[in-house]
Structure 1
Amino acid sequence: MQKNQVSEFTSGGEAHTQREILSQPELWQEVYHLVGQESAGIAGFLNPILQKENLRVLLTGAGTSGYIGDAAQGTLQKVWRRPVQAVPTTEIVTQPETVFLRSVPTLLISFARSGNSPESVETVRLADAFCDEIYHLIITCNSEGALANMNAAAPGTIYRIILPEATNDKSLAMTSSFTCMLLSVLLVAHVDVLDKELDKIQRIVDQGNTILEEKSLLEALVLKGFERVVFLGSGEFLGIARECQLKLLELTDGKQVCMSDSFLGFRHGPRAIVNDHTLMVYLFSRKPHIMRYERDLVEDISRDAREIQSLQIGGVNELALPHSSKIELDIDPENPYQIVPATLVGQLLGYYSAVHRGIDPDSPSLSGSISRVVQGVNIYTEYNS
């Protein structure tokens, strides 16, 4: 695949966050080739497990890593035809008995940038303790992390995918690590047909570069000084909406009021957050059936007398909304990877929001209350239900 280059940001100096955002389309190509190189090992590990009739699949991680499961769950369940559930490690460590089923064979897929978060390590231990038959697929960006170096409870029950070192973001907020881990698990679901996925990967590389080329539009929206930002997505895009909200929250040190929801869920109360200084960000589905529901809501909001402003990502060309900006993407309804580049929207809005507030995007937490690897979590290993 040909590498695509995008120019540097016009605002902000040299920074880890800037570089890590810009590097993603190229890194997605590297992840595709890495999974391809390991395809035999991945398939050899997974295929016998996926043959188990009553297999259950759990996707887990903390914070941003947890949203990978939210975004990937639907695709994996459709491809594997097995129950797939996303449960964050932060839920598992406090109440494992409500998550694990002892007699049910379980594949636990763990996502972690550093692999050193206490909850990530403890979740693996709890899975071994609470399941009679447990298998681990670990996807991480850090070859030296605790998760990448854990031993299997039984031979042949663990497989690790270590992503390129460049995905191990140095900044506080996860950017390339999120999109690359998300892409990797989607590729794992298609590991037996990876050669047929090449064109789809090139499509998302092009889409990522299209979004990066619209940096000035996103910066201009930030400069309007919206009081509130709302991200909406359906299905797998709901996980992306949640991640976009978190990026904007983290990178502004909590100063930007923001939220996320599904298009239909937003009608049931959360719409109360909207005022005349709100930016609505619509992450439109690539599926026509879902888009009908999304269209009904956005057209309703467009008729609001307060002239609510919006940003459309994807969608149909004939949808013309007043007071709205749009990033055109060449959408393919059969391309499951298109959720990946949509994440860049939240990253860029977060980056510019930090820069124009005088906040260092690499270290936005002025109080030190959040950190690159979570601090202050005590793990209590003597579990009593």
Structure 2
Amino acid sequence: MPDPLTTTAFDPALWTTREIAHQPEVWRELAASLHRDRERIAGFLAPLTAREDLRVVLTGAGTSAFAGQIVAPALARALHRRVDAVATTDLVSNPRDHFADDVPTLLVSFARSGDSPESLAAVRLADELLSEPHHLVLTCNPDGALYRRATGLALLMPEDAHDRGFAMTSSATSMMLAALVVLGGLDDVARLAEAADTALPALARLDLDADRVVYLGSGALAGAARESSLKLIELTAGRVVSYFDTPLGFRHGPKSVLTDSTVVVVYLSNDPYTRRYDLDIVHELRRALPEGRVVSVGCLGDDETWSFPTLGGLSDSAAAPVLLLVAQHLALARSLALGLDPDNPFPANEVNRVVKGVTIHGLDQ
């Protein structure tokens, strides 16, 4: 069985190629923008986060939902408040379940375009069902309906974070970092940008030879695994099958997906306790699969295929935007190797960049 790690020449003319590569610079620009706006941000958020009865709900659709799943653990620890990541696609279909507790709620909306029907409906439903809703919008599009209609606080990502390619890359990582900075107190964006700058030249030569890929991660990195799986499915137009799970959950049936040609990517936690479980599945799968089919990604340097050693002291939520560079490059490389256009993998519009065809029903219908 050949080593699955190969090389693919990336086309620098592609938006997706450029948007993956410019993330470190976009992150630096974002940090500077948030610093300049710190008084307005604190003026809105500080009175809310001081309230012991505040609930925080992180929401979005697709990648934007997974961004919330990734940052939620770090925000819960930083705020010492209830923080729930709930996709807009769940909020809109079952609003009374997710807004069952009528408590002061900060709804944090992640949105690249701000025009998805579910994003707008989630805001409206919070206003209808909650006595005291508050809104924080993190978006990349100044012309999007979510930004234009925002009440509360709306923060716009740098212009280059508004991806023109089909899949969310720099938009997603920028919104994650914005949430971690303004709600989680992250003050080390420069460290993340430096780690990404260091890794990008090698990652730009990364590819894999596989027709199915499994991504595994624990805690915040479970969200990263889910986002990684989606990125591969999107950019290969479903021609590479991908699955996600947690290292412990994978053994309970989903392990059936494995074949000798499967590649498994395991994100290793920075938490020493959690990492033991991550490494257990790495070692188990390396005994079961042909050599080279298990790729580990982490920050502590032990038994890692891809390591980002300068990020070892960070929470998994904070390290995730850099770790996701691996998945972004693998998805881009597979797309190109299959002869697809990563900027437009669905030329017949079977899947749209901004979702279409959703009917939003009123609560009184």
Question: How big is each residue's C-alpha offset from its partner over 1:203-255, in whole Å with a ceiling of 9 and x where there is no partner?
Answer: 21122123312235522x2xxx3121111111111111111110100000000
User: What is the root-mean-square deviation of aligned Cα atoms in Å?
Assistant: 1.8
- TM-aligned CA distance change 1:108 to 1:309, over 3 Å: same
SS of 1:363's partner is coil
- Alpha-carbon offset, residue 332 of structure 1: 2.4
For residues 151 and 301 of structure 1, the distance between their equivalents in structure 2, rounded to whole angstroms, comes to: 47
Asked whether the equivalents of residues 214 and 327 of structure 1 are also in contact (C-alpha less than 8 Å), the reply is no
- Alpha-carbon offset, residue 178 of structure 1: 0.3
> Which of 68-77 and 10-19 deviates more?
10-19
- Alpha-carbon offset, residue 25 of structure 1: 0.7
Equivalent residue runs for 1:87-126 within 5 Å? 87-101=86-100, 103-126=102-125
For residues 288 and 110 of structure 1, the distance between their equivalents in structure 2, rounded to whole angstroms, comes to: 32
- Alpha-carbon offset, residue 331 of structure 1: 3.0
Partner of 1:338: 319
For residues 146 and 183 of structure 2, the distance between their equivalents in structure 1, rounded to whole angstroms, comes to: 21
Asked whether the equivalents of residues 282 and 296 of structure 2 are also in contact (C-alpha less than 8 Å), the reply is no
- Alpha-carbon offset, residue 55 of structure 1: 1.3
Whether 1:254 and 2:238 are equivalent positions in the alignment is yes
Equivalent residue runs for 1:149-168 within 5 Å? 149-152=148-151, 158-168=152-162
- Alpha-carbon offset, residue 105 of structure 1: 0.9
Task: Give the one of 190, 195, 201 matched to 1:213.
Answer: 201
For residues 67 and 29 of structure 1, the distance between their equivalents in structure 2, rounded to whole angstroms, comes to: 22
Asked whether the equivalents of residues 161 and 174 of structure 2 are also in contact (C-alpha less than 8 Å), the reply is yes
Q: Which runs of 5+ in 1 are unaligned?
A: 1-8, 153-157
- TM-aligned CA distance change 1:27 to 1:13, over 3 Å: closer
For residues 54 and 318 of structure 1, the distance between their equivalents in structure 2, rounded to whole angstroms, comes to: 41
- TM-aligned CA distance change 1:130 to 1:318, over 3 Å: closer
For residues 210 and 103 of structure 1, the distance between their equivalents in structure 2, rounded to whole angstroms, comes to: 47
SS of 1:303's partner is helix
Task: Give the one of 158, 167, 173 matched to 1:179.
Answer: 173
Q: TM-score, normalised by structure 2?
A: 0.93
- Alpha-carbon offset, residue 52 of structure 1: 2.1
Asked whether the equivalents of residues 102 and 132 of structure 1 are also in contact (C-alpha less than 8 Å), the reply is no
Q: Which runs of 5+ in 2 are unaligned?
A: 1-7
- TM-aligned CA distance change 1:351 to 1:318, over 3 Å: closer
Question: How big is each residue's C-alpha offset from its partner over 1:37-90, in whole Å with a ceiling of 9 and x where there is no partner?
Answer: 111111111111122222111000000100011001101100000110011001
- TM-aligned CA distance change 1:354 to 1:85, over 3 Å: same
Asked whether the equivalents of residues 299 and 312 of structure 2 are also in contact (C-alpha less than 8 Å), the reply is no
Equivalent residue runs for 1:174-323 within 5 Å? 174-191=168-185, 197=187, 200-215=188-203, 217-219=205-207, 221=208, 225-304=209-288, 306-307=290-291, 309-319=293-303
% identical aligned pairs: 39
Partner of 1:360: 341
- Alpha-carbon offset, residue 330 of structure 1: 2.5
Whether 1:379 and 2:360 are equivalent positions in the alignment is yes
Partner of 1:155: none
Partner of 1:28: 27
Question: How big is each residue's C-alpha offset from its partner over 1:14-57, in whole Å with a ceiling of 9 and x where there is no partner?
Answer: 11111111110111111111111111111111111122222111
For residues 302 and 81 of structure 2, the distance between their equivalents in structure 1, rounded to whole angstroms, comes to: 37
Partner of 1:326: 306
For residues 20 and 126 of structure 1, the distance between their equivalents in structure 2, rounded to whole angstroms, comes to: 33
SS of 1:93's partner is helix
- Alpha-carbon offset, residue 11 of structure 1: 2.7
- Alpha-carbon offset, residue 343 of structure 1: 1.1
Q: TM-score, normalised by structure 1?
A: 0.88
Task: Give the one of 148, 163, 167 matched to 1:169.
Answer: 163
Asked whether the equivalents of residues 140 and 162 of structure 2 are also in contact (C-alpha less than 8 Å), the reply is yes
- Alpha-carbon offset, residue 151 of structure 1: 4.8
SS of 1:354's partner is helix
Pairs aligned (count): 357
